[in-house]
Structure 1
Amino acid sequence: MNRYMLSLISVMMAIVSCQQGPKEGQHTTATPKDTTAGQQLKPAESGYADVNGLKMYYEVYGNGKPIVLIHGSYMNIPLNWSHIIPMLAKDRKVIVAEMQGHGRTKDIPREFSYEGMADDVSGLLKHLKTDSADILGYSMGGGVAFQMAIRHPEQVRRLVVLSGAYKHDGWWPDVEAMYSTINADMFKGSPIQKQYDSLGNDPAHFDEYVKKVISIDLKPYDWTKAVKNIPAPIFMAIGDADGIRYEHALELFRAKGGGKMGDIHGLPKSRLAILPGTTHIGMMMRADWWIPMVTDFLDADLNAPPPTF
């Protein structure tokens, strides 16, 4: 097993152990823990939306301005968002969904694509009668979020991408090379496989699931021109030990008005953060760092002048 996969599985185990949610075998009713109230948060709404041939599983928490959370590869709502939802649902409507083939959203005879999953998110918002929302995507979900803003800009208020790429070589070369080595054996006995089994999927198809999910990163893609033309303000965050190249994030930030002294030229509407001591998988363990940055970005008057002294 390569070091990336060992790290992935180790961190997933750490995340699951910190959820304080239901024990193994109870994942279908897992609910995020509101650590301030000491109670289990229950979704105000949950169910399946018929979108593009999928029965897409979703949950809705809280009240306020809507934000959609899009999970990473091989993840689902409990694995990716259980510890995040309570932090955001205090004053926002948090919409979480499971992408094609993930969690409770069963796969269909359709290839995996960032574009297709973005169309599914768009369909979910229409199902929920939500005209527009802030969109936050992590890793694979970051690619889906970029495509959501490209293909459905009218539905995107502000865009947050955590450890995501908008072209295949936005990843470090060794990360790109690693993708073709991923197989189901690497996940055997891991929380990812256990969640796959416990959420009603056929264990006999786990190998196919692993291959199909990684297929979207085995072919080149480049959305640079379209991403630079996204009208919504963008907040992109990566770790300083992430799988995303620094230059990749900086290229987008400069294209969106960054790279100038704000005291002279004013602040750009888009933002960039590089978190210290943070890996790609570890981004989810830094929620206490990036959530205040994200909420400040989402709430800010981006037309306001910079402060003066």
Structure 2
Amino acid sequence: MGRLNGDYVRTVTSTEWTAEASGTGGYADVNGINLYYERHGAGRPLILLHGGLGSGEMFGPVLTQLAAAHEVITVDLQGHGRTADIDRPITLDDMAADIAALIDHLGLDRPDVVGYSLGGGVAMHVAANHPAHVGKLVLASVYLTPDAVYPELRAMQGQVNAAAAEYMVDTPMYQLYQKVAPRPEDFPRLLDKIGAWMMQSFDYTDKLRGLAVPTMIVGADADQVPPSVFAEMFTLLDGGQRDGGWTNEGRPAGGHALAVLPGLTHYSIFASPLFGTAVLSFLAS
């Protein structure tokens, strides 16, 4: 078990995180949680949601890239970063409700929502459960069923729990948590909750198929799942069914899009300028 936990840690921390200078930060008391957020740049609002065990800082140079065209609002999800955990399990529905409540708290009018990995699952649930709160949607490195993940990685995910904390002391995720978390001693508790969430059975096919906002599916060409998974998700949004045509008449009627980014992995896509460029292009289209 120890060896597998160590292997998983080395896998998920293969990319160093670059923390950007803080924007204007604050807390919103919503749904019984004191949710931390930061505002960067100016322009059409964009909610940016991080991956599991991360925080807003993990987006590194992409934050600067996006904030040149948008007011980017990063959020530290339940139990992550500067947002202290509360007495409830980690679920996408609950965290999506937190984001919808934050949008109301900030008085935003249908901001675009961009989420990566865990944050992508939250973003999907915001758009599915609270469609009036979302303009456009970007889902990065998201999958719909657990069996989409490569089997060897799925086995390692099953060993994420409090006992893995000792293997993570030299990782950027642990070090950042210790630096910014209101209760640094809660890190093992976060591992337990993330591990329990990852091992649940789920199928978000109907959630994706029912989305009523323009959505872009984004993945790395060497992600946690085969690239074909992202193409299949695009198909659920009426993508890839016909020739797009000279004037885009054959593209999905909902304005949906697909981007598989070259030379990247699940652990580098969130900090790549290619990701920022794809997001900006889709939101401006």
For normalisation by structure 1, the TM-score amounts to: 0.83
Checking the alignment, whether the CA contact within 8 Å between 1:114 and 1:216 is kept in structure 2 is no
1:110 shift after superposition: 0.6
Q: Deviations over 1:64-105 (max 9, x none)?
A: 111100000000122x12322211111211111100001110
Quick one: structure 1 residues 156 and 166, their matched pair in 2 at CA, closer, same or farther if it must change by over 3 Å?
A: farther
1:225 shift after superposition: 1.2
Aligned to 1:36: none
Secondary structure at the aligned position of 1:111 is classed as coil
Instruction: Tell me, yes or no, if structure 1 residue 251 matches structure 2 residue 260.
Output: no
Alignment equivalent of 2:106, drawn from 109, 115, 128: 128
Aligned to 2:38: 59
- The code of the aligned residue for 2:13 comes to I
Tell me: higher relative CO, structure 1 or 2? Use CA pairs within 8 A at least 6 residues apart. Answer: 2
CA RMSD of aligned residues (A): 1.8
Secondary structure at the aligned position of 1:263 is classed as coil
Written as runs of structure 1 = structure 2, the 5 A alignment for 1:201-280 is 201-259=182-240, 260-263=242-245, 266-268=250-252, 269-280=255-266
Written as runs of structure 1 = structure 2, the 5 A alignment for 1:157-172 is 157-172=135-150
Aligned to 1:289: 274
Q: Structure 1: which 5+ runs fail to align?
A: 22-30, 32-41, 301-309
1:205 shift after superposition: 2.9
How far apart are the structure 1 equivalents of 2:260 and 2:69?
26
How far apart are the structure 2 equivalents of 1:83 and 1:63?
17
1:266 shift after superposition: 2.1
How far apart are the structure 2 equivalents of 1:10 and 1:201?
26
Quick one: structure 1 residues 200 and 136, their matched pair in 2 at CA, closer, same or farther if it must change by over 3 Å?
A: closer
Written as runs of structure 1 = structure 2, the 5 A alignment for 1:3-82 is 3-11=7-15, 14-16=16-18, 19=19, 31=21, 43=23, 45-78=24-57, 80-82=58-60
Aligned to 1:176: 154
Checking the alignment, whether the CA contact within 8 Å between 1:234 and 1:271 is kept in structure 2 is yes
How far apart are the structure 2 equivalents of 1:299 and 1:190?
36
Quick one: structure 1 residues 191 and 290, their matched pair in 2 at CA, closer, same or farther if it must change by over 3 Å?
A: closer
Secondary structure at the aligned position of 2:135 is classed as strand
What fraction of aligned residue pairs are identical, expressed as a percent? Answer: 32
Quick one: structure 1 residues 200 and 137, their matched pair in 2 at CA, closer, same or farther if it must change by over 3 Å?
A: closer
